[in-house]
Structure 1
Amino acid sequence: MNTTKVDSSDILVLGAGQLGMAVVQALAPRLRATNDRLTVLVAPQAVDNPSAQDAEILAALRELGVEVLGQDLTADEQTLTDLFKRSKTVVNCTGFVAGPGTQLKITRAALAAGVKRYFPWQFGVDYDVVGRGSGQPVFDEQYEVRGLLRGQTGTEWVIISTGMFTSFLFEPSFDVVDLKRRTVHGLGSWDTKVTVTTPDDIGKLTTEILLAEPRIVDQVVYVAGDTISYGQLAQVVERVAGVPFEKTEWTLDKLRADLAVAPDDVMTRYRAAFAQGDGMWWDKSNAYNARHGLETVDVEGYLRTRLG
């Protein structure tokens, strides 16, 4: 495994976090069969001075036979452009950890580099429906990324809309389902829906979409592990856990009032956003995985594994 300099690569994956690793684990075996080179970009300190967790990730990447490149995404745009010129395809799995404006910068660099295909970090909700001015600065930036991609013809792009990570429904700080306190909060109403997908399924489906023939070009592709209302979610939680939960509906007015009091609180912003419904869900039967007979883990399957 090369951890210093990579001269060129067929596919460059940005990030080796939860989603990045899921993509690499699904993609690497498929590329070995075609002798295509796969490189993963990680933070420089993960290579130069790895923590115990970094060492585990590097060992897993070594086992997969991929090359590793240390590069800070906070670098200037020209540095990233020069880096991306080495690759035909860039798959962006970095998330929002690098701060506001990073996704726009990465996208501009990929376009300036003239990469053949770009998969942006859009593994989330339908930003076309959400639009600009949602009250979510991150959502606004994602909407602008789509504008950049659609405003050019030199680089093919594929956006994969996945909805929320399934596990996020059970994140205590998000406070939709709190398994320890046995509470469920319905955002907006009990009929409001949300689409969710596990990172492992996103990794597998991203690989299928990336390698699909005929090639998918300049499209938004929808995938879904599950599409569920908050009322249905409450029923699933009680059925799987085998105990009653305290159920409270948090109306959009209530969540907007919370947001007015704490406008900078990330989770308060997310709760208000996912209470809106529109753009946060799509019909699973029309999703790419359903249309192609690719199995995914639904909320009940995820929770049974977690509580098992």
Structure 2
Amino acid sequence: MNNDLNHMELDNMLVLGAGELGMAIVRHLVLRRTGTVTPLAVLVSPHSLAAPGPEQARNYHELRASNVRLLPFDLVACSDDELTALLGRFHTVINCTGFVAGPGTQLRLTSAVLRAGVSRYFPWQFGVNYDIVGKGSGQPVFDEQYEVRTLLRMQTRTEWVIVSTGMFTSFLFEPAFGLVDLTAEVVRGLGSWDTKVTVTTPDDIGRLTTDILLDRPRIANEIVYVASDTLSYRELADVVEEVTGQRYRRELLTTDMLIDETARRPDDAMARYRLGFARGDGMWWDKDTTYNAMRNIPTTDTRTWLQQSHLLEGPD
């Protein structure tokens, strides 16, 4: 019966989105979908399919070569009834849309999943522990994610699995976020140097999400924690210096400084993110307690990711 259920899930599955995370999950699903009959479906915007950018074109070529069906659908322009009808065609839905469709996207998608009676749902919760963060954090995205969890827990018809990943490892080095400035050789801590953050690479998320989906005994109505790495901002600075062989200036952005920054720039999403990740609570968990650690599944820590990245390469 378990094998039949596996095939039913994998034969009737929809991934929402073909961005960085969606592609990582699809790549690992394709490897595990042996013996399936119908192609894996991936929802993409009609505009991107008609006029793809360079990266989208490469992704869509890869998906077609892997026998993945591209399903054009406009999440912004569609009605609630159209969205519900679409989702109702699938047994399992994995949501990798992020917030590209704007505020309220995740609540709307989750409501449609529940109305459609989707059997199993992996929501876009590939982030922090929103139960601990709660509402009123000052980050509207976090508030919406907390409300998504509330909706899922209020019902029993649709099974759900939340995969908590922390932030993408690459986000530590995102210039707009301002933690690590490789050009200016500066590392900034948020809140305190001992504040911790959990990070996971998209490839690790893709592999672990696929493992969690197929795990037996079946995982249902649970939050599963994964991590490529958990480290403090002091440890992050140490890693950067050791990998680059350079001494970096260390700047601590205290919570009071970050509160002042968000007050001055209330519309600055990155300022709100910096304040959120200065809190510590809910932003990290012990890697030894994660799904991957307990099953001895290797992941890519921050040191290895930086060593393998192209960030340290000089100009051609």
- The aligned residue for residue 89 of structure 2 is 86
- The aligned residue for residue 49 of structure 1 is 51
Q: How far apart in 1 are the matches of 2:270 and 2:75?
A: 25
User: Residue type of the partner of 2:122?
Assistant: F
Q: How far apart in 2 are the matches of 1:201 and 1:140?
A: 26
Contact preservation (8 Å) 1:9, 1:86: no
User: Residue type of the partner of 1:13?
Assistant: V
Q: How far apart in 2 are the matches of 1:200 and 1:243?
A: 28
- The aligned residue for residue 14 of structure 2 is 12
Q: How far apart are residue 33 of structure 1 and its match?
A: 3.5
Q: How far apart in 1 are the matches of 2:102 and 2:47?
A: 18
The SS at the match of 1:259 is helix
Q: How far apart in 2 are the matches of 1:143 and 1:291?
A: 27
Q: How far apart are residue 37 of structure 1 and its match?
A: 3.8
User: Residue type of the partner of 1:257?
Assistant: D
Q: How far apart in 1 are the matches of 2:298 and 2:36?
A: 25
| Residue of 194, 205, 210 corresponding to 1:207 | 210
Q: How far apart are residue 48 of structure 1 and its match?
A: 2.6
More displaced stretch, 108-117 vs 59-68 = 59-68
- Which stretches in structure 2 are left out of the alignment for 5+ residues? 1-9
- The aligned residue for residue 60 of structure 2 is 58
Q: How far apart in 2 are the matches of 1:76 and 1:272?
A: 36
User: Residue type of the partner of 2:164?
Assistant: S
- The aligned residue for residue 26 of structure 1 is 28
Q: How far apart in 2 are the matches of 1:241 and 1:210?
A: 38
Q: How far apart in 2 are the matches of 1:27 and 1:65?
A: 12
| Pairing 1:68–2:79 present | no
Q: How far apart in 1 are the matches of 2:105 and 2:146?
A: 13
Contact preservation (8 Å) 1:10, 1:36: yes
TM value normalised by structure 1 = 0.95
| Residue of 240, 244, 248 corresponding to 1:241 | 244
Q: How far apart are residue 9 of structure 1 and its match?
A: 5.7
User: Residue type of the partner of 1:268?
Assistant: A
Aligned residues between the structures = 301
- The aligned residue for residue 4 of structure 1 is none
Write the mapping of 1:1-308 to structure 2, written as runs, cut at 5 A.
10-35=12-37, 37-74=39-76, 75-306=78-309, 307=312
Contact preservation (8 Å) 2:229, 2:302: yes
User: Residue type of the partner of 1:185?
Assistant: R
Q: How far apart in 2 are the matches of 1:126 and 1:115?
A: 24
Q: Deviations over 1:131-189 (max 9, x none)?
A: 01000000000000000000000000000000000000001111111111110010000
Compared CA separation, residues 52 and 177, structure 1 to 2 (3 A): closer
Runs of 4+ in 1 over 6 A off after TM superposition: none
Q: How far apart are residue 36 of structure 1 and its match?
A: 5.6
More displaced stretch, 84-93 vs 67-76 = 67-76
Contact preservation (8 Å) 2:46, 2:74: yes
Q: Deviations over 1:26-72 (max 9, x none)?
A: 00121134446410000111223333333211110012111110001
Q: How far apart in 1 are the matches of 2:190 and 2:201?
A: 20
Q: Identity percentage over the alignment?
A: 58
The SS at the match of 1:154 is coil
The SS at the match of 1:32 is coil
- Which stretches in structure 1 are left out of the alignment for 5+ residues? 1-7
Contact preservation (8 Å) 1:177, 1:185: yes
Q: How far apart in 2 are the matches of 1:42 and 1:299?
A: 31
CA RMSD in angstroms, aligned pairs only: 1.3
Q: Deviations over 1:222-242 (max 9, x none)?
A: 000000000010000000000
Q: How far apart in 2 are the matches of 1:219 and 1:38?
A: 24
Q: How far apart are residue 191 of structure 1 and its match?
A: 0.2
Q: Deviations over 1:62-96 (max 9, x none)?
A: 12111110001112221110000110000000011
The SS at the match of 2:227 is coil
- The aligned residue for residue 3 of structure 1 is none
Q: How far apart in 1 are the matches of 2:48 and 2:217?
A: 37
